[in-house]
Amino acid sequence: MTPIMKPSKKLALTGASLAALIGGMALAEPNRVTFPENIQDFEHYTTVTRGEVEQILAPREAIEAVQNGQPMPYGTHVVIRFLRDGEISRYFVMERGEGWGADYPDGRTEDWQFQWFNADRTVNLDENTARCQACHSGRADDQFLFTHDAMTAFE
Written as tens digits, the pLDDT of the chain (155 aa) is 444 433 333 333 344 333 333 334 445 566 789 999 999 999 999 999 988 999 999 999 999 999 999 999 999 999 999 999 999 999 999 999 999 888 877 777 889 999 999 999 999 988 888 777 777 888 888 888 989 999 999 99
Bridge partners (DSSP) of residue 53 are 49, 83
Q: Report helix, strand or coil for 54.
A: strand
Distance CA 108, CA 72 (A): 17
Bridge partners (DSSP) of residue 43 are 58
pTM, 2 dp: 0.78
Q: Which pLDDT value is given to residue 9?
A: 34
Sheet with strand 87-96: strands edge to edge: 43-50, 52-58, 77-84, 87-96, 112-118
Q: Which residues contact 28 (CB under 8 A, 6 or more apart)?
A: 15, 16, 115, 116, 123, 124, 125, 126, 127, 128, 129
